[in-house]
Structure 1
Amino acid sequence: CVTEFIRVSERLMPAHYFYKYASEFHNGAKTDAGTPLRLQLLGSDPVCLAENAAFACELGAPVLDLNFGCPAKTVNRSRGGAVLLKEPELLHTIVSQVRRAVPKDIPVTAKMRLGYENTDLALDCARALADGGAEQIVVHARTKVDGYKPPAHWEWIARIQDVVKIPVVANGEIWTVDDWLRCREICGARDIMIGRGLVARPDLARQIAAAQKGEEVVPMTWAELQPMLRTFWQACLVKMTLVQAPGRLKQWLVLLTKSYPEATLMFNTLRRETDCDRITVLLGCSPKS
């Protein structure tokens, strides 16, 4: 499990800033289900990243992950995420300084895309991360300019595996077990990272784990998903303003439409709804729960 990226720049961030994004530090850096947490940092200042990484380890981070893949324009304009893929030398400097700053028993990993505008520097970037001391690379098989438009170019992951001696994890456009099988066949990666696919199909990891064992599991039904949806909505009401909460729920429903036709019906019902009490009733939640 990886945190959302924690942006660091110019100064050492206070402890409460890290706890905001990684409350699991209070639980031995594990989720309630016992899944180990990776703390993800984003930035472009090698010294600042190294100092914050070292402090995060003092707070309990068991793994440090460096984000060089975020395609968001606002992030890239501030020299964060995928824009750094234009500068393999800087990638190497960042990883090597973070690696030196944190205890030897704390793994440092990195996530990258295939490049910014094109794939010309993909192999150079992968080498820079590996030579800098990254112990694992997650490769999102698209460029920044590609964004999230299909397809993902899994064949590039195989090429990257050929030029580095560390584990390479495949990422991008894995929505189903069949997608996972095709990805593995094309790139040969042993491991995958799933993001939006897991949001769209919450039991996708369980389905893939079963497929690895040659087993089958009955996919989660829409009815089985309802308690999770209600719990999520209640969490939105606690952690967000009443103006923000409906939008976050609708974001999830849009992704769920990829797997559940019923999600389309629910989204259409809630599409223009902004009253949180009304949404609570429509979801079948207890207003006081």
Structure 2
Amino acid sequence: MGICEQRTVIITGAGGGLGRAYALAFAAEGANVVVNDIRHDAAAEVVADVVAAGGHAIANDGDITSLAGAQGIVDAAVAAFGDAQVLVNNAGVLRDRMFLSLTEEDWDTVMRVHLRGHFCLANVLGRRWREQSKAGQKVEARIINTTSGAGLQGSIGQSNYVAAKAGIAGLTLIQAAELGRYGITVNSLAPAARTAMTEGAMPDMVKPPEQGFDAWDPLNVASIVVWLGSTQSSRVTGRCFEAKGGELSIADGWRTGRILDKGARWAPAELGPVVERLIAESIPPQKVYGT
């Protein structure tokens, strides 16, 4: 018996890449899978793969960027499988340009798919789970959000994507703090794997090796996502995981550093040496990707 037996998971952007890997991995652990993707044919192909392997899945092309669309996706999950316990917010899009070359459309498209897309389904499902909890039902719900190394450390030429992914990491903290009382855990993941996005950005780096372990195989990352979606992860919330190949870590985010307290107001002219001392005594930040 798998660790997600009889649990239903909604995975967005699941028509390929990481989303497809998550769908296959969840199904292999006994979960019912709602394969959501705006490309219905791609979603249907993943469903066919899941069913061929003995799993249960449905294809869905509902709009994740509206509450009405999100409600329709949840309704489809409930109609097919009775309920939904897990949400994997995976769908994403890129509009990469240097900051000064970005258009409003470049900015808004990335924000809509990533941030608004993360909001809508989580809001609809969160309200459903809250009602269940208040009615006395035991809730073992999970939200897994997708941030990225770019969102955690920055990435040249991706300021819109970086801002959205950093926002998702921050959103995860608030969701975890607010929703825990209803039996909902919320974690985020910064995955590194071979996808349409990474193949377009760095094809030589992510191509499969001729032999040996394929560190960029999306199924490597799927393991932690499935575990986070299971009942075994009930004590883990508000964390940001990074995963690639066989590597797994928990990101150590922004936190208050060394404090120098004068006990009175600082004069602007005296702050130079103070700031230099604080920087010297702090842990240097990771370098921005591309620098």
TM-score normalised to the size of structure 1? 0.35
- Structure with bigger strand share is 2
TM-score normalised to the size of structure 2? 0.35
